[in-house]
Homo-oligomer: A and B are copies of this chain.
């Protein structure tokens, strides 16, 4: 039996907005992450819970079609509301059941990042302060 090579991909999940510019920001973030993810993720794509495309199932199926053996779903949300607690895990569970050979996990949402204070101070501190 040969061991299967790990192909790990990241899906950045945002809510989705009627403002196209907001959705484009998320896609641009996924693009930046793809450049920085180096050896950790061989691809990074955006997925949207509502309104915008690709949907979460479409983003996950894209990864499957590209040969992913592991997928990490990242909730790009500041607050752990219903979307983070229920909706995203629900979509992921449906995909995982249909793809038993792909290891799918949901990462902690952005709101719990220990880097947020540093990011905020970098944006909010006056020049020279």
Contacts and interface: CB of A to CB of B under 8 A. Distances in A.
Given A29-B117, A40-B121, A19 B108 contact: no
Interface in A50-95: 70, 72, 74, 76-81
Contacts of A70: 126
Main secondary structure on chain A at its contact with chain B?
mixed
Nearest to A22: B79
Interface of A: 8, 10, 12, 14, 17, 19, 21-22, 25, 29, 32-33, 36-37, 39-41, 70, 72, 74, 76-81, 105, 107-126, 129
The 3 nearest A-B residue pairs measured at CB:
A22-B79, A115-B119, A107-B124
10 contacts: A10-B124, A12-B120, A22-B81, A25-B79, A33-B121, A36-B121, A110-B123, A113-B119, A115-B118, A119-B119
Given A72-B126, A114-B122, A119-B119, 20 more contacts: A8-B129, A12-B120, A19-B79, A19-B81, A22-B80, A29-B117, A33-B120, A33-B121, A36-B121, A37-B121, A40-B129, A41-B124, A70-B126, A74-B123, A77-B78, A78-B110, A108-B123, A110-B123, A115-B115, A115-B122
